Structure 1
């Protein structure tokens, strides 16, 4: 394994999140944090692919999956930040931190850099595999990755279309995929990272199992940490009983049948 290069990637992610911290402090728009993070992880993943020793076909497939994901997500969040207001999740954190907001945000973003490195490591392990490509497991992984990118893009588009309607200021979104999950974009983001262990496990490397950390970490972040909890807290404050009713009839994360209200 290219330990030195992986260390340099980790350092690069740390510096990128220092830049994200500086941008947030200067502009007051926290959406740029996730924009920079998406592009930084994408670049880190591409560098990891370039230094990996896997077959050319495998590295090319990994490159395309990373590039499409990073450009799509980073561009979407950047466009949304440019044309919208503050991210309520970060706004709540900054409010809670008070006078220590600058210092605590800096440390928080370094934790995000560490999380990004764990994701990049999964990409590296997938590209490091010397198994011939495509293995049947590889094909499943690529299909899952592309499906996840498309599903997240569709979810984001449906939500953006809903937000342009006058009723969006007081109602909750139940259009398209949002009828079956309260956070379909988060679900598809997690599903995307499920593709990397499948790509990694086709090879003989004893470290391949470490790629499972990527979907495990992403699930914890989205479902239990910085994703659903603060966002739903904001929605409960702004939509009240309408959002509580949505919670009773629609799954939080995994898409599924709608429930009948009692």
Structure 2
């Protein structure tokens, strides 16, 4: 299989999958399925891109490692979002706000919005692919560093999600803003760890000597994910929703705790 054909096939697959996600979201009324399907599709397509053989050889140890990393990330994230969506009787507030703003054109605009998500997913798949096909023989320290970064990110995001779930399950916290554990260091620790995981692929693929030009494509993952989470579909719409639902209490939380980068909270002001 040629590289061009493989890349084209992955792009078409992601577009088709997100078309299916659009249909499921419309039929179910739960837009949370979109993010679960997107996470799973990026992981599966990324793993396929990782083990893809362009010369007929069996996949190398690095290709198998990177494929496993992509699948581990997507399995945890997709299953978490899917279980949360299945347990809720409400639409995802970010998508609900978008559909309200789009009005009568919501159906068609959601379709094209998800095609943009497919394009973003394709960039992440390319990042995975670039790491998997780094040409150095065997596994080295950089491969182990990449795996360690991804493991730390997956565990950190899982801890943040569990802390938030435990906080919300306590009736005494109804209407309050979670500021315990990692949520006292960052307003969005789950987003921070999500971004951190994408640094695993440049750790493996980047060759500063210029010997592997494709390695620079691995930066697409962390750069794109940072922009999406911090400036586009992550923090901005979620915090707008939190301000509407939590009001002044969330404003005080914003004043004390960093939005993205973990750090000590500021003293509460009177």
Contact 1:129/1:204 (CA < 8 Å) preserved in 2? Answer: no
1:205 matched to 2:212: yes
Deviations 1:43-80 (A, max 9, x none): 10111012156961101211221111111111000000
**Within-5 A mapping of 1:10-25:** 10-25=11-26
Structure 2, unmatched stretches of 5+, are: none
Contact 2:128/2:201 (CA < 8 Å) preserved in 1? Answer: yes
Quote the Cα distance in structure 2 between the aligned partners of 1:240 and 1:77.
26
Compare 43-52 and 238-247 and name the one that shifted more.
43-52
Contact 1:55/1:129 (CA < 8 Å) preserved in 2? Answer: no
Quote the Cα distance in structure 1 between the aligned partners of 2:251 and 2:13.
42
Partner of 1:56: 60
Structure 1, unmatched stretches of 5+, are: none
Contact 1:55/1:130 (CA < 8 Å) preserved in 2? Answer: no
Partner of 2:82: 78
Quote the Cα distance in structure 2 between the aligned partners of 1:167 and 1:91.
27
Moved over 6 A (4+): none
Compare 222-231 and 201-210 and name the one that shifted more.
201-210
Q: 1:180 aligns with which of 181, 185, 201?
A: 185
1:252 matched to 2:259: yes
**Within-5 A mapping of 1:110-189:** 110-189=115-194
1:95 matched to 2:95: no
Q: 1:237 aligns with which of 228, 232, 244?
A: 244
Deviations 1:19-48 (A, max 9, x none): 000001111100000011011111101110
Quote the Cα distance in structure 2 between the aligned partners of 1:141 and 1:74.
21
Quote the Cα distance in structure 1 between the aligned partners of 2:255 and 2:140.
42
Quote the Cα distance in structure 1 between the aligned partners of 2:254 and 2:172.
19
Contact 1:42/1:67 (CA < 8 Å) preserved in 2? Answer: yes
Quote the Cα distance in structure 2 between the aligned partners of 1:169 and 1:7.
48
Partner of 2:233: 226
Quote the Cα distance in structure 2 between the aligned partners of 1:133 and 1:126.
13
Count of residue pairs the alignment pairs up = 262
Quote the Cα distance in structure 1 between the aligned partners of 2:127 and 2:25.
28
Quote the Cα distance in structure 2 between the aligned partners of 1:125 and 1:55.
14
Q: CA deviation at 1:168?
A: 3.4
Q: TM-score, normalised by structure 1?
A: 0.96
Compare 165-174 and 16-25 and name the one that shifted more.
165-174
Contact 2:36/2:79 (CA < 8 Å) preserved in 1? Answer: yes
